[in-house]
Amino acid sequence: MDLAKHCIVRPGSDVRLKKFDPDDTFGTKRNEKSLEKTLNRLRELQLLLYADKRYSLLIVLQGLDAAGKDGTILHVMSGVNPQGCNVTSFKAPSNEELARDYLWRIHKAVPPRGTIGIFNRSHYEDVLIVRVHNLVSKSVWRKRYGQINDFERMLTENGVTILKFFLHISKEEQKKRFEARIQDPSRNWKLSLPDFEERQHWDDYTAAYEDALSKCSTPEAPWHVIPANKKWFRNYLVAELVANALDNMRLKYPAPSVDISKVVLE
């Protein structure tokens, strides 16, 4: 089954998130063996990417609080070699970062050839939270859609494949996950008052995400809306899309640097 066709945002389309069911599984039945098979395939392809060293893969994870960004990283990338994979979590910018353009810190974290880079939040915060909380004027953030598209196009033209995933959960599911964190002492540390307060801006964030998905889904770097209410399906879908993207790179092992036929071991 071509799962991508169910969740990809076609360039030029006008996204309305209410049309995407966060409980959807695209007809897929839960099967732990299928997930393990995909994760094994992903491990093999990551090794091939590392050896090939012509391309890199950038995975962008966005979503509202408790959408499952951390969980997706934990489960999907559980078996990859950490030497070839790096996660960058983008928090509020530092003074050093604020003294430069908003893409400066992003470009520094783009994965080098042969590796996978994962952004836990990303440059899209600069058209999301800054918009919702009026941190910059509309005249500033509205220009950023085009700037982001140009930036991502430049990366893809230089060997970076970009996969952008919006983890789509319902407001009710977010409430359940917050309640589960409250009730579980081992997860209390993940609680933050600002996270709860952000629920008051649910509609504003929805509008901001709809614009980002609509304006920044391009042929070079399309967005995918991942139904994320069911964690097992979220993990399976993301793993499948990542493995397929690596497959599409047509990776190959480089020729050995020595003539193997002449190697003699004493």
Are the C-beta atoms of residues 237 and 166 closer than 8 Å to each other? no
Q: Which residue blocks in the chain are alpha helix, DSSP H?
A: 4-7, 32-52, 69-76, 95-98, 104-108, 129-132, 138-141, 144-156, 171-183, 193-198, 202-215, 231-247
Closest by CA position to 49, among listed 112, 123, 91, 120: 112
Structural domains in the chain, CATH included, are: 4-252 (3.40.50.300)
Cα(253)–Cα(48) distance, rounded to whole angstroms? 6
Return all residues near 170 (Cβ < 8 A) that are at least 6 apart.
Answer: 22, 23, 229
Cα(8)–Cα(44) distance, rounded to whole angstroms? 25
Over its length of 266 residues, how does the chain's per-residue pLDDT go in tens digits?
689 999 999 999 999 999 999 999 999 999 999 999 999 999 999 999 999 999 999 999 999 999 999 999 999 998 899 999 999 999 999 999 999 999 999 999 999 999 999 999 999 999 999 999 999 999 999 999 999 999 999 999 999 999 999 999 999 999 999 999 999 888 888 777 777 889 999 999 999 999 999 999 999 999 999 999 999 999 999 999 999 999 999 999 998 888 888 888 88
The kind and range of the H/E element at 63 are strand 56-63
What per-residue confidence (pLDDT) applies to 1? 67
Query: What is the b/e burial string over 214-229, where b = at least 16 CB atoms within 10 angstroms of the residue's CB?
Result: bbbbbebbbbbbbbbb
In this prediction the pTM is 0.95
What per-residue confidence (pLDDT) applies to 131? 98
Give the gyration radius of the chain's Cα atoms: 20
Cα(168)–Cα(174) distance, rounded to whole angstroms? 10
Q: How far is CA 46 from the centre of its chain?
A: 16
Are the C-beta atoms of residues 157 and 163 closer than 8 Å to each other? no
What per-residue confidence (pLDDT) applies to 246? 98
Cα(215)–Cα(17) distance, rounded to whole angstroms? 14
Are the C-beta atoms of residues 245 and 160 closer than 8 Å to each other? no
